[in-house]
Amino acid sequence: MERAQSTIVRAAYQRKGALWADLTAFVVLLLFVAAVVALDTLLKPALSGAALLLAGVALALVPAALWLLIFYRLDRAEPEPVGDVAKIFVIGLALASAIGIPLTDQLFRVQDWLYRDTLTNILASVFIIGSVEAFIVYATVRFFIYNQPEFDERTDGAVYGTAAGLGYATALNLQFILSNRGAALGPGEIYVAEVALAHAALGGLLGYFLGKAKMQREPVWWMPAGFALATALNGLFFVLRSQVETGSITISTEPQLPSFTALLMAGALAIIVSLVVAGLISRDVRLTLAGRMPPRAADADVGDRRANGLVAGTFIVALAIGALVWNGAVNSTTSFDKDGVKGAYPAYYADQTGGGELLHVTDNLNTGTEFIITATPVEDGQDADAVAGLLAAERGGQYAVYKVLESAGVLLNDKPAQMQRFTYVDSGGLGQDAPQIREGIDYILVDGGRSVVISLLATPDNIQDVTPLFARFLSSLAL
């Protein structure tokens, strides 16, 4: 009886200081970013090497440090033990680094195909990026603090969810800084703050669902619904942010500031979500006091286990859908059949076939990758090696620099062919900022009185990455 009465009392208690601390921290972070950008613009510090890297790492840690500092300065009414909040932050960071980021970046490799088209971007952002990040935040709170005596108020869920979200955000920011060996201070802090504000807000929202489930008797679908909402909002924010973000945030001699639109959008999201969560908690307290919202049952562990199973099942279903999107984006093809040449090229390549070409497709991610097929009549006695020589001579006159790196006889789909690797300098005309170095591979066949030249053109940076894709394209060809 005493335990039930205590549960009702705690369920009817709202610690408003914690929510005001959240709001204050978000506003202070926005002001801090403005100060860093102003100082970076005025002083233009010439940082490089280890100094730039250390400065970037320090700035990546600022959002979490500010939130913790302000939280403990303003939330003086029964604040959470600092060790527990810090523990959840560190666990969120660790799980993001060990599980979350490897899942999205190394298993699914979303960075390679996420932006191929709008639908792929939305679906992958929600079902892969959004679900992974939401599940890491959920697992951090649910399995490392939820059953502890310190988790005894509705507000605790939002507090610990925010801490876990900031942990995930800090892992993402550290990854960005370390992989780029630093970042220009102003632009880098804008990026860091965007990520931190969004993840803190959505972590707090998911934490609200956890806090209510801890204090109230909720149906078994309550936590899966909260997880699904956090997943969707996380993914959709990622999509919107990618649409409005512009500029460069990596090291350069004259860094261009990213758009402040995404930062303001993240700040607005954080403030709005915090206000909504505060309003929902106030409403729940009123309903509890009015006897219209039953407290958590003493034997709620069975319901918790079922809810956990449903959340895990929802996460697995989301990843399965994401895997289908991944497979479609990476492996889907578009068929073609022209002048006796059949095959299939990647579906995300744009058809730019012009006069004198059988096929000319380009990567719509603007990587500079092109697949080209041309066919021309040949004179009697000309073989693929002779055509390769004529082609090299023609290109030598077309480009200021053209060099064949390798030439060899090969079999292409059981037919004799000549393969040659080459490099050249493309002046690009008046519309191009500067000449570009390009590399390519030709496969040349002579069949039926004509030569067929199948070419890959790419930049030196990505030719190794697209060569396996070109090999799949070659294997699809029937001449």
Q: Tell me the CATH number at 416.
A: 3.40.1000.10
Q: Does 398 or 255 have the greater pLDDT score?
A: 398
Query: In this structure, are 202 and 149 located in the same domain?
Result: yes
Query: In this structure, are 299 and 368 located in the same domain?
Result: no
| First and final C-alpha spacing in the chain | 83
Query: In this structure, are 61 and 130 located in the same domain?
Result: yes
pLDDT at 315: 98
Model confidence at 361, pLDDT cuts 50, 70, 90, reads very high
> pTM for the full model?
0.83
Looking at the chain, the whole-number percentage of residues with pLDDT higher than 90 is 45
| Predicted confidence (pLDDT) at residue 63 exceeds the cutoff of 50 | yes
Query: In this structure, are 301 and 360 located in the same domain?
Result: no
Alpha carbon distance 124, 145 (integer Å):
30
Query: In this structure, are 255 and 175 located in the same domain?
Result: yes
Asked whether the beta carbons of 161 and 204 are under 8 A apart, the reply is yes
pLDDT at 137: 97
Alpha carbon distance 286, 277 (integer Å):
14
Burial string for 230-247 (b: 16+ CB within 10 Å, else e) reads bbbbbbebbbbbeeebee
Query: How many distinct structural domains can be found in the chain?
Result: 2
pLDDT at 253: 37
Asked whether the beta carbons of 82 and 160 are under 8 A apart, the reply is no
pLDDT at 6: 46
| Predicted confidence (pLDDT) at residue 73 exceeds the cutoff of 70 | no
Helix (H) or strand (E) holding 187: helix 185-215
Model confidence at 1, pLDDT cuts 50, 70, 90, reads very low
Range with the poorest average pLDDT among 25-39, 204-218, 437-451: 25-39
What digits encode the pLDDT tens for the residues 18-38?
Answer: 667 777 888 888 888 888 777
Query: In this structure, are 292 and 353 located in the same domain?
Result: no
| Predicted confidence (pLDDT) at residue 334 exceeds the cutoff of 70 | yes
Alpha carbon distance 17, 153 (integer Å):
13
| Predicted confidence (pLDDT) at residue 196 exceeds the cutoff of 60 | yes
Average pLDDT over the chain reads: 85
The residue from 280, 311, 331 where one domain ends is 331
Query: In this structure, are 224 and 87 located in the same domain?
Result: yes
Model confidence at 274, pLDDT cuts 50, 70, 90, reads confident
What digits encode the pLDDT tens for the residues 94-124?
Answer: 999 999 999 999 999 998 889 888 899 999 9
State the average pLDDT over residues 342-365.
Answer: 91
pLDDT at 7: 46
Alpha carbon distance 357, 372 (integer Å):
7
The residue from 331, 357, 383 where one domain ends is 331
What digits encode the pLDDT tens for the residues 128-161?
Answer: 999 999 999 999 999 999 988 888 888 889 889 9
pLDDT at 292: 74
Query: In this structure, are 312 and 455 located in the same domain?
Result: no
What digits encode the pLDDT tens for the residues 74-87?
Answer: 655 556 677 898 99
| Predicted confidence (pLDDT) at residue 466 exceeds the cutoff of 70 | yes
What residues make up the domain containing 106? 2-331
Query: In this structure, are 85 and 220 located in the same domain?
Result: yes
Query: In this structure, are 7 and 73 located in the same domain?
Result: yes
Torsion angle, alpha carbons of 398, 403, 406, 410, to 10: 0
State the average pLDDT over residues 452-468.
Answer: 93
pLDDT at 15: 57
Query: In this structure, are 327 and 342 located in the same domain?
Result: no
Query: In this structure, are 358 and 308 located in the same domain?
Result: no
Beta-bridged to residue 363, according to DSSP, are: 349
- The token duo for 260 is 């402040």
- The token duo for 22 is 């959240």
The residue from 313, 331, 349 where one domain ends is 331
Distances in whole angstroms, Cα of residue 133 to Cα of each of 228, 384, 388 = 12, 53, 52
Q: Does 320 or 35 have the greater pLDDT score?
A: 320
Alpha carbon distance 478, 342 (integer Å):
5
Q: What angle do CA 79, 163, 265 make, to 5 degrees?
A: 115
What's the burial of 87, exposed, middle or buried (CB within 10 Å: 0-12/13-18/19+)? middle
Range with the poorest average pLDDT among 189-193, 238-242, 301-305, 394-398: 301-305
Q: Which of 305, 246, 253 is nearest to 46 (CA)?
A: 253
